[in-house]
């Protein structure tokens, strides 16, 4: 009996010591529960979170490498759309072809809880401001159905700032507080793949400021979270 109990305890300890990389796909983040607020976070244009432990490079590079399927250092529209479609199918938990209100709630509470302020002031991003011009987004649905452009987001003094970043806008390339619900274009509470990809095209156009037909990692704007992390290092 003692041997059996010891065996079970060792098995449980072994299971508890095994965790996936912080930058793995969303399903793994979802499985292991809400992340620690100290993790460095990037939220992709479609809303997918990528995390890195303190001291690791900012995880925008993880997203770019995942989306750049042919590895040529250029993210074209087709790859950008494919990345969005893959995340849509992750969000569509019951595989019925739409992301409904329950699945949006799961996204906000389980997959990317930071955008709902789940960590409050502990996240270190309360009262982040955007200086130098106001984004066009606003409210919970602000986004590429009405997204702010990919201007330089960052912390600034209250005197310099004109808009407060909220939700995912702190961690993303666009001024979108909630990038998933922003794709519900007809506001019926049911996001279709067609809607999701329509907004993906709009986001690509906003980020492709040079009209090259592709994005490069070097040309992407830095998120407010990235700028704050770099400022702390300095």
Question: 16-62, pLDDT tens digit by residue?
Answer: 333 333 334 333 344 445 544 456 899 999 999 999 988 889 999 99
Chain-centre distance of CA 197, in angstroms?
16
Closest CA to 181 of 84, 46, 85, 77: 46
Closest CA to 34 of 165, 128, 123: 123
| This prediction's pTM | 0.70
Q: Kindly give the interhelix angle for 193-207 and 77-91, rounded to the nearest 10 degrees.
A: 140
DSSP 102-164: HHHHHIIIII-GGGGTTTGGGGS-TT-EEESS--S--STT-BTTBPBP--------TTTEEEE
Question: 171-216, pLDDT tens digit by residue?
Answer: 999 999 999 999 999 999 999 999 999 999 999 999 999 999 999 9
What average pLDDT does the chain have? 75
| Token couple for 30 | 């979802």
């Amino acid at each position: 009996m003692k041997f059996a109990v010891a065996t079970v305890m060792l098995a449980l300890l072994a299971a508890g010591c095994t965790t996936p990389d912080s930058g793995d796909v969303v399903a793994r983040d979802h499985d292991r529960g809400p992340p620690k607020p100290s993790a460095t976070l990037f939220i992709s244009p479609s809303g997918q979170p990528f995390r890195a432990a303190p001291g690791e490079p900012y995880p925008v590079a993880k997203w770019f490498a995942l989306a750049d399927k042919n590895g040529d250092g250029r993210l074209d529209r087709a790859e950008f759309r494919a990345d969005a479609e893959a995340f849509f199918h992750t969000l569509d938990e019951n595989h019925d072809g739409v992301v409904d209100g329950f699945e949006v709630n799961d996204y906000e509470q389980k997959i990317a809880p930071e955008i709902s302020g789940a960590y409050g002031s502990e996240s270190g991003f309360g009262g982040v401001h955007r200086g130098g011009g106001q984004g066009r987004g606003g409210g919970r649905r602000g986004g590429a159905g009405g997204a702010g452009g990919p201007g330089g987001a960052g912390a600034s003094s209250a005197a310099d700032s004109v808009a407060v970043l909220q939700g995912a806008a702190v961690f993303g390339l666009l001024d979108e507080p909630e990038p998933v619900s922003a794709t519900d274009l007809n506001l019926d509470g049911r996001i279709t793949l067609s809607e999701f990809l329509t907004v993906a095209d709009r986001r690509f156009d906003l980020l492709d400021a040079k009209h090259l037909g592709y994005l490069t990692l070097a040309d992407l704007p830095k998120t407010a979270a990235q700028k704050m992390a770099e400022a702390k290092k300095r």
